[in-house]
Amino acid sequence: MAGTKDKSTLTKRILFGAAGLVLGGSMLLYLVPQGPATGEVSTDTVAKIGDQSVTVKDIRQQLDQIERNNQVPRQLESFYAQQILQNLVFQRELEFEAKRLGITVSDEEIADRIRLYLPMAVSGGSFIGKDQYAELVQQRFQLTVPAFEELIRQGLLEEKFRKLVTDGISVGPGELEDEYRYKNEKIKLDYALVKPEDLEAKITPTEAEIKAEYEKNKDKYQVPERRSVRYALLDMNQLRQAIQIPDDVLKKQYQDNIKQYEVPNQVHVEHILFKTIGKTDAEVEEIKKKAEEVLKQAKKGAKFDELAKKYSEDPGSREKGGDLGWIRQGQTVPEFEKAAFSLAPGQISDLVRTPYGFHIIKVLEKQTAHTKPFDEVRESMRTPLLLSEADKDASNTADQLSAAIRRSSKVSLDDLAKQYHLTLGETRPVSAADALLELGNSQEVKDEIFRLRSGELSRPIRTDRGYVVLALKDSFPAHQGTLEEVRERVISELKKEESLQQAKSKAEELVKRVKAGEKFDAAAKALGLDPKTSDFFARDGSISGAASGKQLSAAFNLKQGDVGAPLSLGQNWFVYRIAEKVEPDPANFEAQRKQLTDELLQSKREVAFEAFHSALSERLKQEGKLKLMPDKLKSFGSLT
């Protein structure tokens, strides 16, 4: 659910004041209860946990919240609904188990966490007041205060369960040594990737082979029903080109909405973050020393974006060289804002401490508050007005088309096209699975084509090109395909089958030649392959565009100069020779011990918590406290 997780990235936390909002891996900002659950089982109940319910309405509310920020393709709605259901059920399971065990979250704990996430809620040691607090929560999270505080409570509850489940977990010396070897034993490979798709173009089946394949598998080569339609299109592009928006209309809108064009004081910044959330005082001191070293490099002229990519712990901006974009006053936590707005373009701050950690900030550009002039925004205003007017005109015309079609079953497509200035056209014969690019490949249009009866007109259907009315032209029933009708499919099947065999044979032949003493490069080229040499990589690394260290785990057990067995990667084959091998250096073990320990602990804790979650769900099912009715999700993703 990548689109919904943006608000949980550290960049967003900094910009919107959600400072380290650790609500657990399953908790997302949109998963907020919309009202008290009841013990009643309604007709749309999807899950029942004790006396709590999850309903279709609950899931729809969460999905609507996602769709307000991200366009969710219709075909993915079912997937999103399943994920939301799992998260809501998990929330209710934790609530049920907390009640059984007597685990609670106090108001004081919630208040402490709010002070951490929203330090702006307290000014000079005093609470800023209910109205300002509500405005701040709405501004930062687009949530009401009760929903925000409920989200905090849920997060704290999950933290307590995580602590309960994972506190006793430790990492042994043997595990550390294995992990050190896993991450530091490295190999470099001479390799060649054998792709069947590269071989297909060179394969030409004979006529005898084509006929034999067809006769042998005749039942496989069915031709589906195909239909063609005539259509009348209300073209949106033509409508937009015909509409004129006078400057006086634009000027009035500009004056009426002048506040929209006010640009506040803002700065374009990059930053490097060293996180301190959840760290001990001793760990914070070590982090500060590391941050100071990086600050020295930045002050001495090292490229800031490269330092950010190497050292920053903000995943939302690290890959962009620490770039946070433009930030406005009131949009960040006070410490960050004060430093950012005090710098001139090109300047780098000293270390800045916020609730998230230590920051090094660089200002790229600054803008003083001003109002954009009309000439600057004229065209950006014109475009949405053109779209709006065209949509309005098209919708009105579509309503008139619908009324005309309803009034008379005898109205023809040609009459409609003439009366409403529509563009006439016709499609080629298509099956239900074929793309229909001339009408925007609309699934709704294809569905309607196969519902239409002779002599009928469809209702106007909205497509990427505009509204379209359809009339059936020809229908060709499904039937057993003749060889001429399915010849291309037969040839494609033959070429695909032969290319798979050739790829496997080439891979085996390359291994045989190299083991017999031929140089890898020469043997690969003789077989028409493209030999390459990888960089060094560990088991948790990969060869870009070829294979992962996990897939090549057997290679780490070989010696330098050994040739591995051909490796099947889907339809492709991977052949390799160990060019070089580097054993882990025991002298570096201590330097990596802490990082390895932290990573292993985190991994083991996640596994343990997942195991707890699974066991809790299973126990509640066995006790009859958890009942799932997933068939109620069928409406998500459907077209009706």
Span of 56-65, 351-360, 613-622 with lowest mean pLDDT: 56-65
Q: Which pLDDT value is given to residue 342?
A: 94
Span of 55-59, 201-205, 494-498, 566-570 with lowest mean pLDDT: 55-59
Instruction: Check pLDDT > 70 for residue 26.
Output: no
Confidence of residue 42 (pLDDT cuts 50, 70, 90): low
CB-based contact 25:48 (threshold 8 Å): no
Instruction: Check pLDDT > 70 for residue 570.
Output: yes
Instruction: Check pLDDT > 60 for residue 569.
Output: yes
Domain annotation for the chain: domains and CATH numbers: 2-168+606-635 (1.10.4030), 186-196+486-582 (3.10.50), 225-246+378-477 (3.10.50), 265-368 (3.10.50.40)
CB-based contact 152:160 (threshold 8 Å): no
Give the integer Cα–Cα distance in Å for 352 and 358: 5
Span of 12-16, 158-162, 619-623 with lowest mean pLDDT: 12-16
pLDDT in tens, 212-234: 999 999 999 999 999 999 999 99
Taking CB atoms within 8 Å and a gap of at least 24, the contacts of 545-548 are 546/191, 546/193, 546/574, 547/574
The three-class DSSP label of residue 312 is coil
Q: Which pLDDT value is given to residue 1?
A: 39
Mean pLDDT of 295-313: 94
Confidence of residue 119 (pLDDT cuts 50, 70, 90): confident
Instruction: Check pLDDT > 80 for residue 619.
Output: yes
Mean pLDDT of 381-397: 90
Mean pLDDT of 368-388: 90
Tokens coding 571: 């339809």
State what percent of residues in the chain have pLDDT above 90.
64
Residues whose CB falls within 8 Å of the CB of residue 238, separated by 6 or more in sequence, listed in order: 423
Instruction: Name beta bridge partners: 476.
Output: 226
Give the integer Cα–Cα distance in Å for 105 and 152: 10
pLDDT in tens, 531-546: 999 999 999 899 999 9
Give the integer Cα–Cα distance in Å for 291 and 281: 15
Q: Which pLDDT value is given to residue 63?
A: 83
Instruction: Check pLDDT > 80 for residue 13.
Output: no
Question: To the nearest whole number, what is the mean pLDDT of the chain?
Answer: 87
Confidence of residue 68 (pLDDT cuts 50, 70, 90): low
CB atoms within 10 A of CB 60: 15
Mean pLDDT of 567-573: 95
Confidence of residue 444 (pLDDT cuts 50, 70, 90): very high
Q: Which pLDDT value is given to residue 24?
A: 30
Mean pLDDT of 325-352: 90
pLDDT in tens, 256-273: 999 888 888 899 999 999
State what percent of residues in the chain have pLDDT above 70.
91
Confidence of residue 37 (pLDDT cuts 50, 70, 90): very low
Confidence of residue 76 (pLDDT cuts 50, 70, 90): confident
Confidence of residue 75 (pLDDT cuts 50, 70, 90): low
Q: What is the separation of C-alpha 78 from the centre of its chain, rounded to a whole number of angstroms?
A: 15
DSSP state of 555: G
Span of 24-38, 265-279, 338-352, 430-444 with lowest mean pLDDT: 24-38
The three-class DSSP label of residue 459 is coil
Instruction: Check pLDDT > 90 for residue 175.
Output: yes
Mean pLDDT of 350-355: 93
Q: Which pLDDT value is given to residue 138?
A: 84
First to last CA, the chain: 24
Q: Which pLDDT value is given to residue 2?
A: 38
CB atoms within 10 A of CB 430: 19
